[in-house]
């Protein structure tokens, strides 16, 4: 069984890699893996296909082409290409049509720019997320209601229909990965002063501090959050080192997050 590339019948601009669950039936969960700015969706499909099969899940690896989704990390603000959140909704609907499985809750993984998309999608649609796994994000939306999205949680005039629920977001089981060697300030890193001040100067530090900020927000709200920060040994910002079995081993760590029996879909 290998992933195949397909497009929704309703919109052929929206391509994605799909692997059916090993057993037929509507109860199989869905694992969605979102690429970074290199748009390596095929690599994600190949890297995580065994994990999905072992956990009895369907695997979906959407492709957000640069020319259509230049702002996908921030969900696709008005005037900056197509809406990536709506594209994922359309892809999941297509998966439901093809496989007959419940798409209302997903396990969502993102790497680098994909991790930016994934946590912002989860902020906007927390009821859709059974589990969230983030790796190597350059920066994160702060749990600050005074700052407009994407820096904080206040409404954004370029995404006027979205509201962001921190309490619901904090109830999602969440694991944040970062390479121990991912400490460079490269040209792809957002080096805004606010982010340096609030989160730190590089990706490893920003991941750790963001989890600490979320934990503090959860405690203040009285929410028993399930948050973990997991360093990836021997790993920099390259996807290849983060998935290598003798270094970051993201597939193995993802398997630990998902377990042998992923969260069931919502009851009808």
pLDDT at 263 over 60: no
Domain count, the chain: 1
Residue 261, in any domain of the structure: no
Which domain range does residue 11 map to? 4-256
Structure tokens at 111: 């790497």
Residue 57, in any domain of the structure: yes
Residue 114, in any domain of the structure: yes
Going by pLDDT thresholds of 50, 70 and 90, the confidence category of residue 26 is confident
CATH number of the domain that residue 240 is part of: 3.40.50.1820
Give the mean model confidence (pLDDT) for residues 42-58. 97
Residue 204, in any domain of the structure: yes
Residue with tokens 């993802």: 254
- HSE on the CB side for 157, CA within 13 Å? 0
Please list, in sequence order, all residues whose beta carbon lies within 8 angstroms of the beta carbon of residue 108, skipping any fewer than 6 positions away: 32, 34, 118, 121, 122, 129, 131, 132, 133
Give the mean model confidence (pLDDT) for residues 179-193. 95
């Amino acid at each position: 069984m290998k992933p195949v590339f397909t497009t929704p019948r309703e919109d052929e601009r929206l391509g994605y890699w799909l692997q059916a669950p090993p057993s037929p039936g509507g109860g199989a969960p869905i694992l969605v893996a979102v690429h970074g700015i290199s748009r390596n969706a095929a690599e994600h499909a190949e890297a995580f296909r065994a994990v999905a099969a072992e956990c009895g899940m369907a695997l979906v690896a959407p492709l957000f082409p640069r020319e259509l989704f230049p702002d996908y990390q921030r969900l696709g603000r008005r005037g900056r290409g197509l809406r990536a959140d709506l594209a994922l909704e359309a892809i999941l609907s297509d998966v439901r049509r093809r496989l007959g499985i419940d798409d209302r809750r997903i396990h969502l993984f993102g790497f680098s720019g994909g991790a930016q998309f994934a946590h912002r999608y989860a902020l906007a649609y927390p009821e859709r997320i059974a589990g969230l796994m983030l790796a190597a994000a350059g920066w994160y939306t702060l749990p600050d209601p005074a700052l407009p999205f994407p820096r904080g949680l206040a409404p954004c005039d370029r995404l006027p229909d979205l509201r962001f629920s921190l309490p619901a977001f904090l109830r999602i089981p969440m694991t944040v990965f970062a390479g121990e060697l991912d400490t460079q300030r490269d040209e792809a890193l957002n080096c805004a002063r606010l982010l340096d001040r609030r989160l730190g100067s590089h990706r490893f530090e920003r991941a750790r501090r963001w989890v600490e900020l979320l934990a503090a927000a959860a405690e203040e709200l009285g929410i028993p959050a399930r948050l973990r920060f997991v360093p990836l040994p021997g790993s920099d910002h390259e996807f290849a080192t983060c998935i290598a079995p003798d270094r970051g081993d993201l597939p193995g760590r993802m398997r630990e997050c998902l377990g042998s029996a992923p969260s069931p879909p919502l009851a009808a």
